[in-house]
Amino acid sequence: MSLILADQRQHCLYAIDAETLNIETIDSDTVLAEHAGFLQLPDHRIAYLDDAYGELVLLAKTEKGFTTSQRVAIAIPGEHLTVSPNGRWILVGTGFGAEFSATTDQITLVDLYPENLSRPRPYRVRTVPGEHGVGLSNNLAWVRHRIPGNIQTISLKEITEAGPHVPQVHGHFTQEIDDTGHGDAFDPLTQTFFVATARGLEQFVSSKNDQATPAGIIPWLSGEEGSTARAFFLRIQPRQRIIVTTLRQGGELPTQWHTWKNWVWIHNIDTGKTLTAPAGEGLIFRCALTPTAVVLTRIHPHGDELLVFNLHDLSLRGRWKLPRMSRAPKVGCEPWDNADRRAIAASPTEEKIAVSRGGHGEVHLFDVSRAGTPPRTLEVPSALIDGGHLGWFSFTLEADNMDTVGR
């Protein structure tokens, strides 16, 4: 197994052997699109978006280390990344980039295995301007828009037959969704597209004519009237049939981030059962999943910590103190402004996780199978300003156990 670590500020990409802790520099001139993250494909290659070169990058693991197997031109800034369940198609959604307004209306569909061609074939097309969340079935592209909110479904046939020169595609639009969509997931088994909004976890399935049809809204905190808590980031574990996220209340007051209330939230897709557990106050950015736990970091002026909750009942397995960051978020300032954070990744096959220490060039490795185990600290070649980005990958993991959206 291997960890992939990106320092997007220093334009570096590293591989860390999970057993020996040897560090390999994969690329020293690449800028990871951090929001899109990393995505493992069914053929075990690892995909990410390079926002400097405007390319989808595919990494392959060999006996001698990691190599870039292919690069494919895409529309940027890259914001979201997804693969079809059969592993043939990749869809890239664009976003705002360095701006806070829509800069592009383009998405890119990539055929990884085109007939009679020796390399992947990209199809760049236009939809509507904005930030495009994405999902993929084997024959249908799902595109989530916000402000105004809608779900656009486009057949892959329409995209691939649209022609060159970035043509407009249409598909079908469904406007029965809140304007606040942020966070997407796709379940290949039920062909359901999930979107996190202020209203809850909104679900959509496709009708016979490929139109997105609303399939219900799952509330974030059932029974707590007036709560503004919501999720912004979704994880799905297809084989365990669960969607996992963290909820945040108070995000409308960004300079008071230390007072934000947080919860861990799990929904079973098949049974409809939902569990929640409080996770304390402060900044919780993203979570990760081991085979039996959901793990997250909480940043707070009184001290940062790693929290580990058991997946089956959300009981707290343990908490570990994390060393302070010298450029941590400050009270009275937004936590994203001129401050470092922590990236987190979890092994898909073992109870092991990695947490970065932004600005210090350190990655802390934990065995979270039981509380109290001491971490190991690994020094990496660059500072990890902003915290960098981490992914933990197994090269024996079966395709039906993989999340199809980049994280």
Question: What was the pLDDT predicted at 57?
Answer: 98
Partners of 122 in the beta sheet?
110
- What distance lies between CA 360 and its chain's CA centroid? 24
* CATH number belonging to domain 1-23+232-407: 2.40.128.630
Q: Give the span between the Cα atoms of 175 and 195, in whole angstroms.
A: 13
Quote the pLDDT of residue 208: 85
User: What pLDDT, on a 0 to 100 scale, did the predictor assign at position 226?
Assistant: 64
Q: Which helix (H) or strand (E) holds 276?
A: strand 274-281
Does residue 49 contact residue 92 with C-beta atoms inside 8 Å? yes
pLDDT in tens, 204-259: 999 988 999 999 999 998 666 668 899 999 999 999 999 999 999 999 999 999 99
Contact predicate 134/127, CB 8 Å:
no
Find all residues with CB under 8 Å of 179, minimum gap 6, and list them.
146, 147, 148, 149, 197
User: What radius of gyration do the chain's Cα atoms show?
Assistant: 20
Cross-strand pairs, 202: 195, 217
DSSP 156: H
pTM equals 0.96
Read off the DSSP letter of residue 157.
H
For tokens 């495009």, the residue is 132
Q: What is the pLDDT of residues 16-70, one digit of tens each?
A: 999 999 999 999 999 999 999 999 999 999 999 999 999 999 999 998 899 999 9
Best CA proximity match to 206, nearest among 186, 234, 178, 232: 186
| Domain map (residue ranges) of the chain | 1-23+232-407, 31-221
The two tokens of residue 29 are 């001139």
Q: Which residues contact 64 (CB under 8 A, 6 or more apart)?
A: none
Residue 229: what pLDDT? 95
As averages over each run of 10 residues, the pLDDT of the chain (407 residues) reads: 96 95 96 96 97 97 93 96 98 85 89 94 96 96 94 98 96 95 96 97 94 96 77 95 97 96 97 97 96 98 98 97 97 94 97 98 97 94 96 94 95
- For β-strands 55-62 and 12-17, DSSP reports them as unpaired
Where are any strands of DSSP class E within 269-349? 274-281, 287-289, 293-298, 304-310, 316-322, 344-346
- Distances from the Cα of 173 to the Cαs of 142, 159, 194, in angstroms? 10, 15, 16
CA distances from 387 to 33, 91, 354 (A): 14, 26, 12
| Count of beta carbons in the 10 Å neighbourhood of residue 30 | 22
**CATH, domain range 31-221:** 2.130.10.10
Residues ≥6 apart with Cβ < 8 Å to 218: 200, 201, 203, 267, 274
Helices (H), 107-211: 156-160
Beta strands in 74-218 (DSSP E): 78-83, 89-94, 106-111, 121-126, 133-136, 140-145, 150-155, 172-174, 184-187, 192-197, 200-206, 212-218
